[in-house]
């Protein structure tokens, strides 16, 4: 994966030591074929790394109610530090607008693979891997290109390198993770409280690197009660990651481990975090492991009987290159991608649909072929009510700077 270096003399730090570089060791272009359903695949934007256009879109897009897409690129833009963009449907085509270009220090740099979050007023929130001291979180106000830097990470024990994005609660507070730093240098979970005029950052959990996990790359997910859920890519009793929960108590937040990954049929290295359905069930994926070696999709049901809470729904073939980011729940289905598997070893987009009599049916929707088509998706996909799927591929396209794509059933 791409590596970035920031000048420690001016307060920014080296990002290449972070999880993006670590997980870059896992890139393996598997060549196992899977059946694909006939779909219409269209590249709707080619990133060029020219002018204010971005490059290397690690993060996937989000959709608003009008069908517009919003996303980030890790590189490119006016200063080469990444950009925030909007894409609007325009008849049979799309209009691309650059909303913000990350600038020189102390601005953030390198919005990584966490998708943006949108507030009720249309403001966009996210994180950058670098810039500031060692990463930032930010607000793009009213989608007009004015940035508010909420916090600079890397001073003291507040954590460093927030690469997974943020989530908002009903009160407008933000929650996210840092993959490094904290009191024990194993990453943190943080909260940004909004009082109507200013933001106040606080660390609500420091990972120890023991049974509670280490290095949480993905952001957290909120349930209806305000509890937070996430995954760590390392740590736990077996060293290959955990699924955890944070519950707010009067005395503060309490962390509990819901599942410790064993590296067997349940998979290992759950890089992407989890999503939660209306019933409180959690769905996530692992980048590696499972019965076929290429990662897994799993469900964790907190209300199920002991011993049956965790289920592996699907195991991918291959060695490395499985699902890398948060799954997407839409229209009763589970959507995701593989980073370096599929028929051509360049990644794929897939869906799990409920099967009659229980269980799930796996369908490979599209296998990337490289070149102008794009290759190696890292970001989550967005799905509209018609089943149209939108996402990004990190490489490929007309200028080999990545693409935004649409898959129409």
SS (H, E, C) the chain: CCCCCCCHHHCCCCCCCCHHHHHHCCCCCCCCCCCECCCEEEEEEECCCCCCCEECCCCCCEECCCCCEEEEECEECCCCECEEEEEEEECCEEEEEEEEECCCCCCEECCCCCCCEECCCCCEEEEECEEECCEEEEEEECCCCEEEEEEECCCCCCCECCCCCEEECCCCCEEEEECECCCCCCCEEEEEEECCCCEEEEEEEECCCCCCCECCCCCCEECCCCCEEEEECEECCCCECEEEEEEEECCEEEEEEEEECCCCCCCECCCCCEEECCCCCEEEEECEECCCEEEEEEEECCCCCCCCCEEEEEEEECCCCCCCCCCEEECCEEEEEECCCCCCCCCEEEEEEECCCCCEEEEEEEECCCHHHCECCCCCCEECCCCCEEEEECECCCCCCCEEEEEEC
In this predicted structure, what is the pLDDT of residue 143?
Answer: 66
Domains of the chain: 28-408 (2.130.10.130)
Global pTM value: 0.91
In this predicted structure, what is the pLDDT of residue 319?
Answer: 74
In this predicted structure, what is the pLDDT of residue 320?
Answer: 73
Q: Tell me: the pLDDT tens digits for 99-126?
A: 999 999 999 999 999 999 999 999 999 9
In this predicted structure, what is the pLDDT of residue 28?
Answer: 31
In this predicted structure, what is the pLDDT of residue 38?
Answer: 65
Residues in the chain with pLDDT < 70? 1-38, 143
In this predicted structure, what is the pLDDT of residue 37?
Answer: 54
């Amino acid at each position: 994966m791409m590596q970035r270096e920031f000048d420690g003399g001016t307060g920014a730090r080296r990002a290449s030591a972070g999880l993006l570089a670590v997980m870059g060791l896992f890139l393996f272009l598997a060549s196992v074929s899977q059946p694909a359903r006939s779909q219409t695949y269209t590249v709707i934007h080619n990133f060029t790394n020219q002018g204010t256009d971005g490059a290397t879109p690690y993060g996937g897009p989000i959709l608003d109610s009008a069908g517009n897409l919003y996303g980030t690129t890790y590189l490119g833009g006016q200063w080469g530090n990444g950009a925030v963009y909007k894409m609007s449907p325009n008849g049979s085509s799309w209009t691309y607008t650059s909303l913000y270009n990350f600038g020189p220090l102390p601005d953030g740099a390198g919005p990584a693979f966490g998708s943006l979050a949108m507030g009720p007023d249309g403001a966009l929130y996210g994180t950058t891997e670098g810039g500031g001291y060692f990463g930032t979180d930010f607000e793009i106000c009213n989608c007009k290109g004015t940035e508010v830097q909420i916090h600079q990470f890397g001073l003291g024990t507040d954590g460093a390198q927030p690469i997974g994005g943020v989530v908002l609660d009903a009160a407008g507070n933000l929650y996210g993770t840092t993959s490094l730093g904290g009191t024990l240098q194993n990453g943190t979970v943080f909260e940004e409280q909004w009082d109507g005029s200013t933001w106040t950052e606080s660390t609500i959990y420091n990972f120890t690197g023991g049974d509670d996990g280490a290095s949480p790359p993905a952001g957290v997910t909120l349930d209806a009660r305000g509890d937070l859920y996430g995954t760590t890519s390392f740590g736990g009793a077996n060293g290959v990651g955990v699924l955890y929960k944070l519950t707010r108590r009067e005395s503060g937040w309490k962390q509990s481990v819901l599942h410790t990954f064993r590296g067997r049929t349940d998979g290992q290295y759950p890089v992407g975090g989890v999503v939660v359905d209306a019933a409180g069930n959690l769905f996530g994926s692992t980048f590696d492991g499972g019965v076929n070696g290429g990662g897994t999709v799993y469900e964790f049901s907190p209300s199920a009987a002991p011993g049956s809470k965790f289920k592996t729904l699907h195991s991918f073939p291959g060695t490395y290159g499985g699902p890398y980011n948060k799954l997407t729940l839409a229209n009763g289905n589970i959507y995701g991608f593989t980073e370096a598997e599929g028929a051509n070893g360049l990644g794929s987009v897939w869906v799990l649909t409920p099967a009659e009599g229980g269980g799930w049916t796996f369908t490979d929707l599209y296998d990337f072929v490289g070149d102008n088509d794009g290759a190696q998706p890292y970001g989550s996909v967005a799905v509209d009510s018609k089943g149209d799927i939108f996402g990004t591929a990190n490489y490929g396209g007309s200028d080999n700077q990545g693409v935004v794509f649409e898959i129409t059933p």
